[in-house]
């Protein structure tokens, strides 16, 4: 499996803590390491040569400073900001088409790294066996209006990870569920209904799929961007020009909302400890959980003085 870490965002909602010169993924917000470094550690079960980073050209030096063991050739430099669909496609077209690719965000927080790795491995198995587009999601814990949701269907199967290949002993089962549809950020009343129903999960954006499969979805649903991606792959000298001409749209809008629900599977993580750290409130909430009140006061003062 190839892990692609998306690390090109500017994190403007946390200004002035997060800036265009050094956005939140490269800051020590929670714990002793940056969010990006924690993300890299999260996929440390992979070899360094299987870990890739897609980031804006201006952040390449930060990636190299904070993860010097990742090969320089594994850093995909985005010449412009064109949202996640173009970024993910840009990474996918540079990887072997017969491999499985997982998409991970550098500015998300995940406390349970063992659960995360277990879900990724199960999703890799699913991608190989069923050729589906797989999402690792989390149970909604509150009527959050700043997150997207997915509607979950019936349970389809279980995948048991082999925890020790030498003994061939099965590990804890990972449940696989039917996908029904995406729901964008709702109003409070709708979010409360989602939470009460138990049929909706928070959309983390953690995807796992066969590379040749996702590129085929680009060809079908984003033909202009797909053509430009192929041109960049065949002639890297065109990247600077062609990348900026690609459509600026999220992977959810561009691909995931257009594919048939039967092509998608949901893996609900039971205890991931996930947050996208997308707002000051979510940052303070996570800092409260670890008892870092000194940092809370420091960040609050910084926000007030801006």
* pLDDT tens digits in sequence order for the chain, 306 residues long: 999 999 998 878 899 999 989 999 999 999 999 999 999 999 999 999 999 999 999 999 999 999 999 999 999 999 999 999 999 999 999 999 999 999 999 999 999 999 999 999 999 999 999 999 999 999 998 999 999 999 999 999 999 865 555 555 667 889 999 999 998 889 999 999 999 999 999 999 999 999 999 999 999 999 999 999 999 999 999 999 999 999 999 999 999 999 999 999 999 998 899 999 988 999 999 999 999 999 999 999 999 887
For the chain, the domain total comes to: 1
pTM above 0.75, yes or no: yes
Q: What count of other Cβ atoms lies within 10 Å of the Cβ of residue 21? A: 10
Using the CB atoms, write b or e for 99-129: b if 16+ within 10 Å. Answer: ebbbbbbbbbbbbbbebbbbbbbbbbbbbee
Q: Which domain holds residue 258?
A: 2-305
Residue 254, domain CATH: 3.90.550.10
């Amino acid at each position: 499996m190839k892990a692609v870490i998306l690390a090109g965002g500017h994190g403007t909602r946390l200004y002035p803590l997060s800036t265009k010169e050094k956005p939140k993924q490269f800051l020590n917000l929670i714990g002793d390491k940056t969010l990006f470094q924690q993300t890299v550690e999260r996929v440390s079960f992979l070899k360094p040569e299987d870990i890739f980073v897609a980031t804006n050209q201006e952040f390449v030096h930060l990636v190299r400073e904070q993860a010097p063991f990742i090969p320089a050739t594994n850093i995909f430099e985005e010449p412009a900001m064109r949202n996640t669909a173009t970024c993910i496609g840009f990474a996918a077209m540079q990887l072997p088409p017969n491999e499985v690719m997982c998409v991970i965000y550098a500015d998300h927080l995940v406390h349970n790294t063992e659960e995360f790795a277990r879900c990724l491995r199960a999703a890799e198995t699913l991608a190989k066996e069923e050729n589906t587009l797989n999402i690792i999601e989390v149970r909604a814990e509150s009527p959050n209006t700043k997150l997207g949701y997915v509607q979950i269907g019936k349970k389809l199967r279980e995948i048991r990870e082999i925890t020790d290949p030498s003994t061939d002993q099965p590990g804890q089962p990972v449940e696989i569920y039917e996908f029904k549809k995406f729901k964008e950020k709702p109003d409070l009343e709708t979010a409360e209904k989602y939470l009460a129903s138990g049929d909706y999960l928070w959309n983390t954006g953690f995807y796992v799929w066969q590379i040749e499969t996702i590129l085929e979805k680009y060809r079908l649903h984003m033909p202009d961007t797909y053509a430009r991606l192929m041109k960049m792959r065949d002639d890297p000298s065109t990247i600077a020009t062609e990348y900026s001409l690609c459509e600026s749209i999220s992977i959810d809008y561009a691909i995931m909302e257009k594919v048939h629900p039967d092509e998608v599977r949901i893996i609900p993580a039971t205890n991931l400890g996930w947050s996208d750290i997308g707002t000051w409130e979510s940052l303070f909430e996570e800092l409260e959980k670890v008892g870092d009140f000194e940092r809370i006061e420091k960040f609050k003062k910084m926000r007030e003085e801006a």
